[in-house]
Structure 1
Amino acid sequence: MAWKRGAVSYQAKSALCSLSVKIIGATHIPWADWMSNADCYVCVLFPTCTNKVLKTKTVSNTSDPIWNETFQFTICSYVKNMLLLELHDEDVVSGNDLLYTVAFDVEKIQIGETKQETFTLNPNGPETLQVEFTVQELPTKRERVLTNGVVVSREMSCLEVAVDKQRIPENVQGQHLVLSVEDSCEKTHRVELKPTTGPDSVHSCRFHCIKNWDPELTANLENGDDAVQIIPIKLLPSGKEQKIHLSTVQARPLEVKLKAKNCTDQLNVRLGFDLCDDEKLYLSQRRKLVASTLKKVLKLDRDLEDHEIPVIAVTTTGGGVRAMTSLYGTLSGLKKLNLLDCVSYITGASGSTWAISKLYEDPNWSQKDLAEPIEDARRNVAKSKTSALTFDRLAFYREELRKRAGMGYKTSFTDMWGLLIESMFHDKVNDTKLTDQRKALSHGQNPLPLCLAMNVKSVEKSTLDYKEWCEFSPYEVGLLKYGAFIRSEDFGSEFFMGRRTKTLPESRICYLQGLWSNIFSVNLMDAWFAAVSTEHLWHRFTRDYVHEIDEEEALLSRRTATSGLGTRLLQPAGGFSRAVREILTNRPIDGEHHNFLRGLQMHADYSLQEEFSAFDELHNYPNMLTPSTEELCLVDSAYYINASFPPLLREERKVDLILSFDYGLSNKFTSVERTHSYCADHKLAFPKIEVCEEDRQNPKECHVFSDSENCDVPIILHFPLVNDTFTQFSRPGVERRTELEKEEGIVDLSGIWSPYRLLKLTYSKEDFNKLINLTEYNVENNEEMILQALRDAISQKQKLRTSDNI
């Protein structure tokens, strides 16, 4: 089903079908341990139907095992159902060996069809696996789903369990009751059977489950000889309390109260690619100020009509203290040209987000002189950072992290880094939160801030292999390619299937600053790429072997734009390669956060949606995408592109002009060139970046990139961090004459000993002032180029309206 860009989620009734998977047998399986023929068994993994790993019996000492075992599943037709079949060789001495994995798209089996598949396990050999599939519709069963065409939320039930600790039999006191629902979000709860009185005398817990998985509750005493009790949740009366009694060795049984109920269809995750209502309201208010300002600065003889008002954005890069300081200078320059009120968005990554966070503590910062926040930044940048590492401060950090863990947050060194940033660049504990920035947007008085991070895999994959943009605004936090957003105050809370299952208090802004500039989750593969800009040998050497079993069918799917995925054979890398891969891809210090996409399943046609901008090798493996993981691993976006363009490239924002400020010390065009490459791969509107050799060797203060043939492509004004005419002029048109003035024009932006190198956290006041003055000057000195770009953006809007009317 084709999906309309910008559409929100919709509710539908999905057909349910029964799937029968019969594992018949395998042939010509080679020896794995050199002692005997293979001892084979097959594991069936079907994560859209169950969390359980189902397993055949082991057939010993044969290369041609026969199983003839059948497994039954209930599948949802709206979901991409990808079945994994793993063939193992059992070995009690050296451990079981995974020989092959087959990934099979169940969509290939038609309703009412029985089909036997013979999977080739070795493209160059005779090894095969025979499996029979049968799909039958369940005409009396339907399931309500919510979807945006990329991810699907299914019906969910909640099991509430209560144990009265005042009524615990004496013979089990001190033991633990283990409650498990394998097919649930929580999986297991352990209850200490310790008699208690007062308000905490009842222990309560919950299990959230996909309703049509038919989950079961298992209850037993840990380390006890008592029988395990299994209760199918579907047999419990909905909404009514039910008592069960667990048998004990003697005395009275242990009473447990159960209540099963259906969860609401109202999601706490917004599924849709359109802008949220709060942002739309903000833009309608901001548009009036933008139109009024453009009329003044461009000296227009009439008011702009609604369709003529361009959306203008400022985008920045990271660079630690250098980026933070430079952004203050950039904004000061725009303020002095009376252009800041033309800007609707400001995006930040890494160090530039530190300045953004500080500025938005003042709800009217852009309407004031920036001398005060710049002075505050100067004082904090110039002060010694050793005070952030005293024993008292370390004790404070430890206590803060202990409290945070007690709330239910996943804590890591990324949180510690956030606390260090707060200590180094603030005078005291900063209690502000991301949602406090809404006050600065209440009547469109400031640009809307958007901060960027990147979601990666914490292990097994480098950033080259897997990366997803994650956007933070005062209104929402979202993973862009899935069209899934939560309220900003809910970031960090626990979610399952689009519902919030545990609410945590909103984090202070310092923890987000640590996340946005999380440079500590780097692995060796990322470091290798950063050093040589190529994956080279190691990257390919450590990957599993992947082979398209049905290459012709996969090619046909791509040609006809069907949603079916080709059957794939995965042969794991050898033991040595796996060990090397673990070393290269492990992130020793990662920043993990509760995944608000957890439990959501990929839509059957997700791969056909243009919004699903996949730029990783896993996009054809739905079971390995972010909704199937428990945590997000969020890192600095500079691991891939040191820029913050992606939030502005959402078609729904309709950005016409981007003022791009690159605060890097080298490779002055890398941020825009890599962004263009990314946009070209994903058919996103972005001008071609053509830089002549002279400009590459001696970059100017401002470069224009545009596409006069396509009005949908934004105009890019790119400002690299260079010291060009600033060496001769202290202000535009004001020449340096005295030795002191000439000295102030010398700004060292090159070499490993530059005072602005990445890891330097303290600047002298003189170096701080030079960087502020330089970045401010580079904006002011290019006033005419900016004004012309504004005129061009208005002209593009007018042409676009004309073409729409034709």
Structure 2
Amino acid sequence: MAMAGENSPSRHEGAPAPVRVLTHFLGRWLTQEWAWCLGGAEEAGPAGTPLALVEKLTVLSPWSCASCPIFSGGFGLMAPAKVPGACLLTVRVLQAHGLPSRDLVTSSDCYVTLWLPTAPSHRLQTRTVRNSRSPIWNQSFHFRVHSQLKNVVELKVFDQDLLTKDDPMLSVLFDAGTLRVGEIRRESFSLSPQGEERLEVEFRLQSLTDCAEQLASNDILVARELSCLHVQLEDTGDQKGSKGTVQLVVPGSFEGPQEAPVGTGSFLFHYPASWEQELSIRLQGAPQEHLKVPLRALPCGQVVRLVFPTSQEPLMRVELRKEEGPRELDVRLGCGPCPEEQAFLSRRKQVVATALKQALQLDRDLQEHEVPVVAVMATGGGIRAMTSLYGQLAGLRELGLLDCISYITGASGSTWALANLYEDPEWSQKDLAGPTELLKTQVTKSKLGVLAPSQLQRYRQELAERARLGYPACFTNLWALINEALLHDQPHEHKLSDQREALSRGQNPLPIYCALNTKEQSLTTFEFGEWVEFSPYEVGFPKYGAFIPSELFGSEFFMGRLMKRLPESRICFLEGIWSNLYAANLQDSLYWASEPSEFWDHWVQNRASLDKEQVPILKVEEPPTMAGRIAEFFTDLLTRRPLAQATHNFLRGLHFHRDYFQHPHFSAWKATKLDGLPNQLSPVEHLLCLLDVGYLINTSCPPLLQPTRDVDLILSLDYNLHGAFQQLQLLGRFCQEQGIPFPPIAPSPEQQRQPQECHTFSDPACPEAPLVLHFPLVNDSFREYSAPGVRRTPEEKEAGEVNLSSSDSPYHYTKVTYSPEDTDRLLRLTRYNICNNREQLLGALRQAVQRRRQRRQPKPS
């Protein structure tokens, strides 16, 4: 393709003189603007030279100046406005010393890549220096940054290899926030103080003045303004159906690369407004046929028409229109409960106050500030957990205490019970005999039909429809449908947002379902895990203070805005996430096969602590050795999740605030330094990898430990067959390491040997720690009593024998079908264990009321 200035025919030679002059002037002006604001290199090389790219922009001569916004003042050379925080970061890659050779014959062929996620998100690269252990690059790269963001530059040195994958030799992370405006700093990154290998880089930060940028932030995450680019391609000649494919790219956009036949198609790109991006249009298979348009130069709201001068007729007309993107966020950035949850709690407190007055026989009504927040926390455990929770909720209702509960949290199998119950908006106000009979029907039925050909065909059709709608394909979706068939005779159309009806008058507790977000590979859940909570109102990450309405979970988001709304999933697909046994890696499986406390000791203890006063400002990674490569291979083997769950990431594109790590609600995982490295956290991922919380701790308690929920009393319902206190102790250690107020879990040796039906744990020295009433799954006095105070007759003795051994129990988590007798025994046992501890429950409720009165006195006006 001919470029302006070359001694070859130009496609607009015949254009009127004003058109040629203005086109040339436009190209020169765009070049001057583009050279310093785009994340690119000053010198020619892999990063490209802006001038040669901009000069390919041409205007078709038959168009009149009046009809083209370029010549009607659309671009406007107006003076830029001042914006506090806009800066130009210059990274000058100088040289390296003593790099080891990866080749057998010659020295290394080295280049450096640069990546800054808070600037235009494509990796830049120096030229390759051949056969040198001490290469000199002396190349500068420019990044437009905002000082309110956490700007961490990643530099990597690679040895180029033509036959195999390029070898990484050195990796450096540098926090640009440590630079002062106007400062020039030269850093020498070495693997060790005595080591010869080092990389020398110069950093410079300069203040900029430019158009204003609006930031939305909760001081952990930051959402930036978006721009939309509409692109229309059309043939300029009479020939239609041109052969070939054209690819359009706006680096860092939500849509990514898009393709269409030459000369046809409409395209839309969303990208951060402050990023000095360019539209790249390239003919596939013809590298020389390439047009790049700087988007900063396009006038907002006006149509710009260009021509892509291809080497073959017909020409391709390009019509561009840039406009402001959506301003309102669809992701809620906030660390407290959403307004809907707060309104629910206000309604629920009226119900709780009435129930507590009756249960505790109080002589007056409780004021709103005196009403304690009481929660039920249920663990996982498959069919056993689902069945047991039915029995315990029936026991609480029998005692008149179910209306004292404000929250119910569930994980894995206990979520199945909650999902079933909340299909009835009045479930807690009714006798649970009916739902229990339905449960028994499903638990005792044969499960062989779930894999019948007709069922498999139905699964295939529904999964194909989900893929057509835009949901990522993953094995967990199939598991969700199989799981639904195990628990129901017919597909249920109920959705999570439908459960809001059950909360409309505060008539039921608010259910919260738990999952764990982790990495698809290379890290275990002990090394990286983030709690995700699901309620009828919202789904979100308490760690980041980022939430979306529950009906939008699974839809596509970018920079906090909804990009593509997908139909809300049936709740069975969420149950597949909450009980996702198939996203496990081999290392997770070791947790289940070993003593969990020992596994925790092995993987978590003695790891480097990450304190909020010791945030890394730079990080140097040494090149992998042969032993390191072997170790990496086995680590990948152990940590890769072959059947990982995949969900569109609603955090995608959001950036981190410069002080995110010091935020009191940002819960850093102290067993790893990953939380101090924002370039590797969840907002940079396109997909979430959600799995059963049991691969870390079999508990649904973390949502109740949020300080903004201020829970006073937790009824801990534990369904583990191995260790009555094991998971609660792991939770206690987790809270201790994270600095979360929680009572010490220290049962006596006697309690360990012979756990009772109910145990109380409190911490008088820590008023913020909730009181915990723990109900392990044990068969204690139930052997002798059929009901509280009613001894069994000799004929009833057999009914009191409930096998809860961890090896041969009929309630093992692998069992999906129970006999009617075993089902009845488990339901009666769990109901009895609640009812037989009425006095302890009432005592704990009195304590909670007293605690609330002492700590929540109204402030004087």
TM-score (norm 2): 0.86
1:645 and 1:168 map into 2 onto residues whose CA distance is 66
- The one of 211, 218, 222 equivalent to 2:273 is 211
Aligned to 1:190: 259
Residues 676-755 of structure 1: pairs in structure 2 closer than 5 A: 676-739=732-795, 741-755=796-810
Aligned to 2:811: 756
Aligned to 1:395: 457
Counterpart contact for 2:170–2:620, Cα < 8 Å: no
Aligned residue type for 1:786: L
Moved more, 69-78 or 672-681: 672-681
Per the TM alignment, residue 30 of structure 1 is displaced from its structure 2 partner at its CA by 1.9
Does 2:724 align with 1:668?
yes
Cα-to-partner distance string for 1:616-647 (whole Å, 9 max, x where unaligned): 43011110000111111000011101000011
Closer/same/farther in 2, CA of residues 226 and 19 from structure 1, 3 Å limit: closer
Counterpart contact for 1:14–1:78, Cα < 8 Å: no
Aligned to 1:643: 699
Does 2:370 align with 1:319?
no
Aligned to 2:512: 450
- The one of 597, 621, 640 equivalent to 1:569 is 621
Residues 105-144 of structure 1: pairs in structure 2 closer than 5 A: 105-144=175-214
Aligned to 2:665: 611
Root mean square deviation, CA, Å: 2.3
Aligned to 1:406: 468
Aligned residue type for 2:834: V
Aligned residue type for 2:350: K
Counterpart contact for 1:663–1:721, Cα < 8 Å: yes
Moved more, 263-272 or 312-321: 263-272
Aligned to 1:786: 841
3-state SS of the aligned residue for 2:736?
helix
Closer/same/farther in 2, CA of residues 644 and 56 from structure 1, 3 Å limit: same
3-state SS of the aligned residue for 1:100?
strand
Does 2:234 align with 1:234?
no
- The one of 102, 110, 118 equivalent to 1:48 is 118
Aligned to 2:824: 769
3-state SS of the aligned residue for 2:700?
coil
Residues 139-538 of structure 1: pairs in structure 2 closer than 5 A: 139-163=209-233, 170=239, 173-192=242-261, 203-224=265-286, 227-532=289-594, 533=596
3-state SS of the aligned residue for 2:177?
helix
Counterpart contact for 2:810–2:818, Cα < 8 Å: yes
Per the TM alignment, residue 163 of structure 1 is displaced from its structure 2 partner at its CA by 4.1
Aligned to 1:3: none
Closer/same/farther in 2, CA of residues 487 and 481 from structure 1, 3 Å limit: same
Cα-to-partner distance string for 1:163-187 (whole Å, 9 max, x where unaligned): 469x896475353221111221222
3-state SS of the aligned residue for 1:139?
coil
Cα-to-partner distance string for 1:577-636 (whole Å, 9 max, x where unaligned): 221121111100011100000000111011111211011430111100001111110000
Cα-to-partner distance string for 1:664-702 (whole Å, 9 max, x where unaligned): 111111221111111112221211111111111111000
Q: Which runs of 5+ in 1 are unaligned?
A: 1-11, 195-201, 547-553
Cα-to-partner distance string for 1:321-358 (whole Å, 9 max, x where unaligned): 00110110010000100100000000000010011001
3-state SS of the aligned residue for 2:592?
helix
Aligned to 2:90: 20
1:563 and 1:708 map into 2 onto residues whose CA distance is 33
Cα-to-partner distance string for 1:693-726 (whole Å, 9 max, x where unaligned): 1111111000000122333211100000000000
3-state SS of the aligned residue for 1:143?
coil
Closer/same/farther in 2, CA of residues 118 and 391 from structure 1, 3 Å limit: same
Aligned to 2:57: none
Aligned residue type for 1:565: I
- The one of 126, 133, 137 equivalent to 1:63 is 133
3-state SS of the aligned residue for 1:614?
coil
2:769 and 2:478 map into 1 onto residues whose CA distance is 41
Per the TM alignment, residue 250 of structure 1 is displaced from its structure 2 partner at its CA by 3.8
Aligned residue type for 2:693: S
Counterpart contact for 1:184–1:207, Cα < 8 Å: yes
- Greater C-alpha Rg: 2
3-state SS of the aligned residue for 2:361?
coil
Q: Which runs of 5+ in 2 are unaligned?
A: 1-81
2:340 and 2:510 map into 1 onto residues whose CA distance is 11
Counterpart contact for 2:190–2:620, Cα < 8 Å: no
Aligned to 1:799: 854
2:550 and 2:436 map into 1 onto residues whose CA distance is 28
Per the TM alignment, residue 530 of structure 1 is displaced from its structure 2 partner at its CA by 3.3
Counterpart contact for 1:455–1:468, Cα < 8 Å: yes
2:159 and 2:340 map into 1 onto residues whose CA distance is 56
1:520 and 1:64 map into 2 onto residues whose CA distance is 48
Closer/same/farther in 2, CA of residues 169 and 758 from structure 1, 3 Å limit: farther
Counterpart contact for 1:476–1:488, Cα < 8 Å: yes
3-state SS of the aligned residue for 2:814?
coil
Counterpart contact for 1:711–1:797, Cα < 8 Å: no
Counterpart contact for 1:171–1:251, Cα < 8 Å: no
Closer/same/farther in 2, CA of residues 141 and 119 from structure 1, 3 Å limit: farther
Per the TM alignment, residue 800 of structure 1 is displaced from its structure 2 partner at its CA by 1.2
Counterpart contact for 1:105–1:567, Cα < 8 Å: no
1:191 and 1:742 map into 2 onto residues whose CA distance is 75
Closer/same/farther in 2, CA of residues 28 and 538 from structure 1, 3 Å limit: farther
Per the TM alignment, residue 107 of structure 1 is displaced from its structure 2 partner at its CA by 1.4
1:169 and 1:250 map into 2 onto residues whose CA distance is 13
Counterpart contact for 1:525–1:585, Cα < 8 Å: yes
Closer/same/farther in 2, CA of residues 593 and 446 from structure 1, 3 Å limit: same
Aligned residue type for 1:505: P
1:571 and 1:656 map into 2 onto residues whose CA distance is 51
Per the TM alignment, residue 161 of structure 1 is displaced from its structure 2 partner at its CA by 2.4
Aligned to 1:598: 652
Cα-to-partner distance string for 1:182-205 (whole Å, 9 max, x where unaligned): 2212221112459xxxxxxx8433
Closer/same/farther in 2, CA of residues 48 and 787 from structure 1, 3 Å limit: same
Counterpart contact for 1:43–1:87, Cα < 8 Å: yes
TM-score (norm 1): 0.92
Counterpart contact for 1:168–1:193, Cα < 8 Å: no
Closer/same/farther in 2, CA of residues 115 and 193 from structure 1, 3 Å limit: closer
Per the TM alignment, residue 35 of structure 1 is displaced from its structure 2 partner at its CA by 1.5
Aligned residue type for 1:776: R
Does 2:618 align with 1:587?
no
Counterpart contact for 2:191–2:620, Cα < 8 Å: no
Aligned to 1:199: none
3-state SS of the aligned residue for 2:375?
strand
3-state SS of the aligned residue for 1:529?
helix
Per the TM alignment, residue 299 of structure 1 is displaced from its structure 2 partner at its CA by 0.7
2:512 and 2:467 map into 1 onto residues whose CA distance is 27
Does 2:692 align with 1:623?
no
Counterpart contact for 1:104–1:568, Cα < 8 Å: no
Does 2:136 align with 1:81?
no
1:617 and 1:115 map into 2 onto residues whose CA distance is 26
Counterpart contact for 1:314–1:661, Cα < 8 Å: yes
Closer/same/farther in 2, CA of residues 256 and 392 from structure 1, 3 Å limit: farther
2:92 and 2:839 map into 1 onto residues whose CA distance is 72
Counterpart contact for 2:83–2:210, Cα < 8 Å: no
Identity %: 44
Aligned residue type for 1:51: S
Per the TM alignment, residue 736 of structure 1 is displaced from its structure 2 partner at its CA by 0.6
